Chain A
Amino acid sequence: MAVPFYGRASAAVFSPLESLSRSELVVRRLTDAIALGLLPDAEQLPGELDLAGIFGVSTVTVREALSVLRSEGLIETRRGRGGGSFVRTPANGVGHLAQRRLGRFSLGELRDLGDVYAAIAGASAALAARRSSPEDADRLRRVADVLAEAKAPDARRRADAQFHIEVAAAAQSPRLYHEEVRLQAEFGTLLWLAFGDDDSHAQMTRSCRAVVAAIAARDPHAAREAAEQRVADSTARLIDYQLSEDRS
């Protein structure tokens, strides 16, 4: 088989397209959300038309995805008035759902995702330190407080996600913000598997405060370092988690 050579500059253009089909991507996104408790039991999903609009896919694709989720017992669809699709948390818990997705990644791939996330989080924090007004720093402090006070694992995950989003917004860069959202969907959902217990929560709260302090002090170097460390800690925890799960 001939391997075409396009040169470095064209690499992105001719890289393979996302290998999953559109409907598989929708299934994965909704399964992740159910596994993480972001979509709690009995929550009603938006209608097919709305889902199609939100994900930017056709209603046929949405219907395909919902039928897969239905066959896996993750949603229940009721007809008629007050009908719609409702989340069904599986009786044996959500751990195995997330585990199944995590199991597809090698340790090296997880490390690689962590490297990219650290680069984005670090750059966002460094720019936020250069560009944050005292008002921005106050807002970050409030989000860090919400994280510190959160008790339930899913509330902690939401607060952690919100903190990353706020830092990316404080960098004043819509593109870094969008990259943050993309990475949260791809990798944050995995990181949160190993996040939520008291131990990890204490560590994340500490590192959050370190990022806020550096941004408030307008110190880009310290902010970058603290944000990179924060992602490195999360990634290390996830890798440890996968290693321990494999043993059982």
Chain B
Amino acid sequence: MTQVRKRLTAADVTRVRTAVSGLADQAFGLTERIAAASAAGLAGKDAPRRADLAAVEPVVVPFLADAAQPVQGAGFVAASGLLQDAGWWLEWFARDADDRPQRLVTHSEPQAIGFYDYEHLPWYVVPRETGLCHVTGPYVDYLCTEEYTLTFTTPVLVDGRFCGVAGADIAVKNAERVILPALRAAGARLAVVNSFGRILSSNSGRHLCGDLLDDVDFTEIPASHRIGDLPLAVVPLG
């Protein structure tokens, strides 16, 4: 018996887009609030210090404490040289193994082992260069979560000057849990990919999370298949 391949319908695409957009809205809802809290603390200061970022913690920690939402870590990442008392700084909080929010401890001395140099990483570079929100991943975040991760970042500007990024991490396995029902409901094979054609999630065992789809030209994907302005889109699988 030959199987008839069903066509991808508009409803299939919409369901998946809605699920992915829902994740992005949650993450960016948080990063916008972190950005506002950071900018308010930094505004009007010629030589800001770490203490001026104190308003980030009360925004992030209660959010992370809600186990029902998928963000597992979030905070503000300072541009190097911004703060008087730390060359590099992450005002960052993440859930620990017991799901309790904890402050992230990293070295800010470039010579120290475990130093966290973020100024060449895409989740930092892209918002700085474009001034726009960005989604990085899926990628192995070996600097922080040590998990397969999506990182949502928003640039933080004070008086037009770039001061750093506000970010939120969602583990790919948690994103998948949210997207999978929509993928399962689809009548045909499809995948959510990033702008490199890297698969975030799909409903095909042959095209798995992390694989690259070689034939994806992201600029050619119609707006109806894109996730807003984000570097994510829904594509049919051949």
Contacts and interface: CB of A to CB of B under 8 A. Distances in A.
Interface of A: 33, 38-39, 43, 50, 130-135, 139, 142, 158, 165, 168-169, 171-174, 177-178
A177 B146 contact: yes
Contact of B210 (A33, A139, A173): A173
Contacts of A142: 120
Nearest to B148: A174
Contacts of B155: none
30 contacts: A33-B113, A38-B113, A39-B113, A43-B112, A50-B105, A130-B211, A130-B212, A131-B210, A131-B212, A132-B212, A133-B198, A133-B212, A135-B122, A139-B120, A142-B120, A158-B113, A165-B142, A168-B140, A168-B142, A169-B142, A171-B140, A172-B139, A172-B140, A172-B148, A172-B198, A172-B210, A172-B211, A173-B210, A174-B146, A177-B142
Contacts of A43: 112
Interface residues of B, number: 19
Nearest to A127: B210
A30 to B, nearest CB: 12
Contacts of A39: 113
Given A131-B210, A172-B210, 10 more contacts: A43-B112, A131-B198, A133-B197, A134-B196, A135-B196, A142-B120, A168-B140, A169-B139, A172-B198, A172-B211
A216 to B, nearest CB: 13
A183 to B, nearest CB: 14
Contacts of B138: 172
Report whether over half of chain A's contact residues are helix, strand or loop; otherwise say mixed: helix
> In this complex, which of B105, B113, B120, B198 has the most chain A Cβ atoms within 10 angstroms of its Cβ?
B113
B32 interface: no
Interface of B: 105, 112-113, 120, 122, 138-140, 142, 146-148, 196-198, 209-212
5 A-B pairs closest in CB distance: A172-B210, A133-B196, A169-B140, A174-B148, A38-B113
Nearest to A53: B96
A131 B211 contact: yes
A135 B231 CA distance: 14
Contacts of B146: 174, 177-178
Contacts of B113: 33, 38-39, 158
> In this complex, which of A131, A132, A178 has the most chain B Cβ atoms within 10 angstroms of its Cβ?
A131
Nearest to A56: B97
B137 to A, nearest CB: 10
Contacts of B210: 131, 172-173
A24 B120 CA distance: 38
Contacts of A178: 146
A51 to B, nearest CB: 12
Contacts of B142: 165, 168-169, 177
Contacts of B148: 172, 174
Contacts of B120: 139, 142
A139 B118 CA distance: 12
A165 B197 CA distance: 23
Contacts of B139: 169, 172
Nearest to B196: A133
Contacts of A50: 105
